[in-house]
Structure 1
């Protein structure tokens, strides 16, 4: 049997495909994610099968006897005649020997992988396939005796968070997006001097021509209805933009609560109270939660003074 059919070769192929899948998910290109996630599962499943017995990856077809002898190491076949099982069959064989359990979500991921080669899968469904991917990979790695970080590398913590059922889905999703944005930002500077990245982070944010991300106020008559302010991005460390909406208003004071955050440097963003709560929980205590603005009925917008700011 040649080296391409070894357990280590399948392991390395699975690792490469899994990392590409995570990159795809962060872009977001969910059709490509489904394709590469399915490939990762297939290759790692084959790595487990080969580790138990090389003949377990033989595909049962007309030349099945030759294929069994080939993977057993007693017959040399031309490369074009080598046929191994596909993802679905590999998973079925692992289920029969007790390595994997029935998993409808895993079946759906493999169906999407097979469909992605011909037509685009449902993006909403594909986006949610991180958990079955992470869960299946972890089970297969345990059987191989391989540590999680050896396989996932820089994605290890994100993958652990993806299957942490003690946290709700919104929190897991926000944590994943922080990691994805961070890696995408760092990848832009691979091979460049460190000062290039440092310069990008230290440059005034935003640039003058990008008026839409400067701190601003939006008013409805005399009432201030929206404020924006800068904030440290948890993904890249640059200056992002917080937006606020009013939650309480009196004749002399308006209180705003943060309802969104975006960073144009790394494209990380969240919106809505649930995602903002998850963002503050995800190790970002420096972001403001509320802003109180003191005012009077005759004051112009330029005369409004900021009141107490509370960090979340």
Structure 2
């Protein structure tokens, strides 16, 4: 039998496609993600079937008897005559023998994959398919007695979080985006001397003038947003920037709370109080969460916002 139809060959193909899918998701290219995610599931499903019996990957067609004997190792077929099952049929067979359970999210992933291959798919739906991909691959790896870390390598932790129902969706998304930004940043310097990346991390920000709080924009009427230095980026270690919005005001002080974080080096970003809370939960101590600006009692809010930070409180 052709080695390309072995369980190990299907496994290696699934691993390669799964890593491409995670890279696609981080760029973000969700149609490409759906395509590679579907290929990963299909190949790993075939690996599980072939491990049971090589003939289980045979597609039933006019030459199905020859195909079965080819997979059994007794007949040689030309490469163009070799036909194996597609993703939908491979999943159906695994469900029939009890390896996989019915899963509408997995079925949707395969449908989106087919759309990405033949027509415009729904990118919004594709973006949310990390969990069924991770869950299905974990099940199939258990069936093959393959370690999760061997398959996912640097993607192991975010994949584990994708199936961790004890954490909320916002936490899982922030953690995934952070790891994706980190990997994309590291990939930019792959094969280059270490000092090249170190130089990029130590270089001054292109927005050096924004080391102090100052007006950035006005949103929702008179709602002011301030921007200030935010310390090391949890994704790449570079210098990130925090955004703030006002939460309290007295005659002599205005208090702002962090409502976003962004890094120009690796493009990691979070937005809003829920994502900021999730960011702090992903082991990122040291990020400023509140800023207090002292001012005179006669200043307008716009004038107050022009003041340099008088006192910083972290929490």
Same topology, TM > 0.5: yes
Quote the Cα distance in structure 2 between the aligned partners of 1:30 and 1:297.
51
Q: Give the match's secondary structure for 1:31.
A: helix
Which residue in 1 is equivalent to 2:74? 74
Structure 1: gaps (5+ residues)? none
1:44 deviation in Å? 0.2
* Matched residues, number: 307
Q: Give the match's secondary structure for 1:306.
A: coil
CA contact 2:25–2:127 (8 Å) conserved in 1 = yes
Quote the Cα distance in structure 2 between the aligned partners of 1:144 and 1:104.
23
Alignment of 1:121-136 (within 5 A): 121-136=121-136
Q: Give the match's secondary structure for 1:254.
A: strand
1:228 deviation in Å? 1.0
Quote the Cα distance in structure 2 between the aligned partners of 1:292 and 1:280.
20
Which residue in 1 is equivalent to 2:214? 217
Which residue in 1 is equivalent to 2:99? 99
Q: Give the match's secondary structure for 2:107.
A: helix
Tell me which moved more, 280-289 or 100-109: 280-289
Structure 2: gaps (5+ residues)? none
1:224 deviation in Å? 8.9
1:206 deviation in Å? 2.8
Listed one character per residue, the Cα deviations across residues 119-153 of structure 1 (whole Å, up to 9, x for unaligned) are 12111111100000000000000000000000000
Which residue in 2 is equivalent to 1:258? 258
CA contact 1:285–1:311 (8 Å) conserved in 2 = no
Quote the Cα distance in structure 2 between the aligned partners of 1:46 and 1:108.
19
Quote the Cα distance in structure 1 between the aligned partners of 2:248 and 2:180.
35
Alignment of 1:233 with 2:233, yes or no, is yes
Quote the Cα distance in structure 1 between the aligned partners of 2:100 and 2:296.
67
1:307 deviation in Å? 3.9
1:205 deviation in Å? 1.5
Structure 1 residues 310 and 22 mapped into 2: Cα distance closer, same or farther (>3 Å)?
same
CA contact 2:213–2:306 (8 Å) conserved in 1 = no
Which residue in 2 is equivalent to 1:271? 271
1:64 deviation in Å? 0.4
Taking structure 1 as the reference length, the TM-score comes to 0.94
Alignment of 1:306 with 2:312, yes or no, is no
Runs of 4+ with >4 A deviation: 213-216, 298-303
1:118 deviation in Å? 1.3
Alignment of 1:108-119 (within 5 A): 108-119=108-119
Q: Give the match's secondary structure for 1:285.
A: coil
Taking structure 2 as the reference length, the TM-score comes to 0.93
